[in-house]
Structure 1
Amino acid sequence: MKILCILNPIAGGGRTAAQVSAAIHHIFRDAGIEYDIVYTQHSGDGLAIAKHAEKNAYSHVIAVGGDGTINEIATGLIGTDLILAIIPVGSGNGLARALQIPFDYQEACQLLLHGTSRAIDVGQVNDRYFFATSGIGFDAYVGKQYNEHLGHSRGILPYFQIAATEYFHYTPQKITLEYQGKTFTCTPFVLTVANVEQYGGGAIIAPEAAPDDGLFDVVIIPQTPLLKTVYHLPRLFNGTIDTLPDFITHKTAALTITRPEPGPVHVDGETFLAGQSLEYTLLPQALRIQVPEKTVPRSTPKKPGKSFSGNTLELLEKLSRLKDRGILTDEEFEEQKRKLLERL
């Protein structure tokens, strides 16, 4: 085993680099493991360093940082035999949370000794990659504002403070979505393409998403009045957002989104500007990642009889609305209704 550790020195407010370095030195020296530590200096360094790791005979690459650093380094490892390990020190840590990677530095380091590797899917939108979530709705708009407001503290609270302010300035766009030979239009407040169930910070946007099932969970939520949004906000953190009557989800490995004008897109919380047409493609099990042995693949079938979307009457009404919008065919509506009624 030969390990390359790529560390973002300003992650975690710049206070954690020395602590993480000390943990790495202590654990790997005692275990007799060969390792190197490299510090990033600029945006893009993580990607460049990771791309050279395979040529230098490393077996594992540790990414130390937040979601942006993890995204950069993981991008450089796509399609290789190298195994990514994560020491999460960011404010969101979406991928780490989804894979049950511990936040304690020493425990995260110990995964190299006692964990197991797992192949996960990778998402691609145009020429950018993501490992947790991507989106073009309000989440991308707020993410852009959050990333551009330099000087504010990081974390979930500042994010929601910006979201509360920008809620009144955001106007959803009417978009066209094409997948599996189907085409329909909608005006989503939130449109998230999820590879795992959460954004980060414990916000679970796609409770049924699994990182190794070969499918995206495409989540669409229409705009609702502010008070209703606030009332239902706890559902985003307790894993029941999919019980909302207007919650729509599709599973697909590829989709095309067309919008009336260019705008922001986020990949794992990092925003960039893109054109009117967005091509999403899933790369099955294209990244190997070190996880706890106790981690249970989310693609494991659910136990029989487990309810996944709340009140039966609400579900029937929701299915009817989807059929009326042309999202479900008559045959699909009848099939879903039959399955729902069989649970009673």
Structure 2
Amino acid sequence: MTKTNILFIINPISGGKNKLKIPGIIEAHLDHRQFNANFSFTEYVGHAAEIAEEAANHNFDVIVAVGGDGTINEIGTKVMKSNKVLGIIPFGSGNGLARFLKIPMNTKGAIEVINKLHISKIDTATFNDKYFFNMAGMGFDAHISSIFAGNKKRGLSGYVKLGLKEMMDYKAQQYDITVDGIAYSRKAFVVSIANSSQYGNNAHVSPRASVTDGLLDVCIIKKFPLYKMPVLAMEMILAKTDHSELVEIIRGKHIQIGREADAAIHIDGEPFFMGADIEITVDPLSLQIITPL
């Protein structure tokens, strides 16, 4: 029986969790009759992409991201371009894509999914020249992502504390949005482009989003008074934002956004600085990924 070469790329800082023991846990639960396992730890931003590209060129058929949505993005971009297969062991702060795909949050369960090697295809998208797989956007969440990147305290609690602090001073912005040729002008707190339904931690901004429908959901979180923040948070947790007076969702394939100035954006939770004009397109069923049956 020919074994599949599999590489686990481990981000040691994602989610603020120690991962030195992860190779041992994987070795204990991986089906070695089926896989030849190798491991690599990232050492700097962009290193996961470099490792994935080299692995794809050296006969690794399955490349597994051990980390969060940002790590998945780096690795998934190279996996997709080389027509290899992506696996996920969730270890991020939010794990939005893994949660949406129903990949177990515990390491043993995620490895058992990999052992079954059930391969699905999902949509990907581009945000100007950058690929994303779960969620991208601009506004308050991008502002927070850019600040959080320099915060030594990773994880959900650090993100929430920072968000509450910054929310007091953040002002809604004006956006000119075109979706499949139809124009909209909106004042918004956040504009998120959703491939899956959630940011992470089961906070669903677009409950009906699907990674296999060939569409993206433009989620416009409107300007709202601070006292309504608990209402919005509860609607996200209950996956009811599609009925919210605070959120407007527009679905489409080709999206153009003009904003007031160059500013922060986020791609799968990772911050970048980008120009005022954004173009977003979907690439249907372009990434092979291991999912539960």
Which shifted more, 189-198 or 23-32?
Answer: 23-32
Percent of aligned pairs sharing the same letter = 33
Q: Distance in 1 between matches of 2:102 and 2:193?
A: 21
Moved over 4 A (4+): none
Q: Distance in 1 between matches of 2:213 and 2:207?
A: 14
Distance 1:181 1:33, change over 3 A: closer
2:80 maps to 78
CA contact (8 A) 2:224 2:246 kept: no
Q: Distance in 2 between matches of 1:232 and 1:204?
A: 10
**Paired amino acid for 1:195:** N
1:196-226 Cα shifts (integer Å, max 9, x gaps): 0000111110101000100001111211111
Q: Distance in 1 between matches of 2:252 and 2:260?
A: 23
1:158 maps to 158
Deviation at 1:16, TM superposition (A): 2.5
One of 120, 123, 129 as aligned partner of 2:131: 129
TM-score, with normalisation over the residues of structure 2?
Answer: 0.94
3-state SS in 2 of match to 1:120: strand
Q: Distance in 2 between matches of 1:263 and 1:276?
A: 7
3-state SS in 1 of match to 2:65: strand
Q: Distance in 1 between matches of 2:130 and 2:36?
A: 32
Count of aligned positions = 290
Q: Distance in 2 between matches of 1:25 and 1:219?
A: 41
2:266 maps to 266
**Paired amino acid for 1:147:** A
CA contact (8 A) 1:11 1:89 kept: yes
TM-score, with normalisation over the residues of structure 1?
Answer: 0.81
Distance 1:14 1:234, change over 3 A: closer
1:63 maps to 65
1:272-316 Cα shifts (integer Å, max 9, x gaps): 1000101111111111110110xxxxxxxxxxxxxxxxxxxxxxx
**Paired amino acid for 1:151:** K
CA contact (8 A) 2:125 2:283 kept: yes
Relative to its length, the structure with more strand (as a share) is 2
Q: Look at both structures and tell me which one has the larger radius of gyration over its CA atoms.
A: 1
1:16 maps to 19
Q: Distance in 2 between matches of 1:290 and 1:107?
A: 13
1:114-150 Cα shifts (integer Å, max 9, x gaps): 24111011111111111110111211112222222x2
CA contact (8 A) 1:98 1:197 kept: yes
RMSD: 1.5
* Mapping for residues 11-160 of structure 1, pairs under 5 Å: 11-18=14-21, 20-28=22-30, 30-31=32-33, 33-148=35-150, 150-152=151-153, 154-160=154-160
* Mapping for residues 232-311 of structure 1, pairs under 5 Å: 232-293=232-293
Q: Distance in 1 between matches of 2:96 and 2:157?
A: 16
Deviation at 1:48, TM superposition (A): 1.0
CA contact (8 A) 2:17 2:91 kept: no
Deviation at 1:50, TM superposition (A): 1.1
- Structure 1: runs of 5+ lacking an equivalent: 294-344
Q: Distance in 2 between matches of 1:30 and 1:73?
A: 23
Distance 1:269 1:157, change over 3 A: same
1:85-109 Cα shifts (integer Å, max 9, x gaps): 0011111111110101111112211
- Structure 2: runs of 5+ lacking an equivalent: none
Q: Distance in 1 between matches of 2:18 and 2:257?
A: 40
CA contact (8 A) 2:194 2:218 kept: yes
**Paired amino acid for 2:258:** T
CA contact (8 A) 1:65 1:88 kept: yes
1:225-259 Cα shifts (integer Å, max 9, x gaps): 11122234211111012221242111111111011
Q: Distance in 2 between matches of 1:125 and 1:83?
A: 22
Deviation at 1:179, TM superposition (A): 2.2
Q: Distance in 2 between matches of 1:16 and 1:270?
A: 20
1:167 maps to 167
Q: Distance in 1 between matches of 2:69 and 2:20?
A: 16
CA contact (8 A) 1:197 1:210 kept: yes
**Paired amino acid for 1:92:** G
Distance 1:30 1:75, change over 3 A: closer
1:2 maps to 5
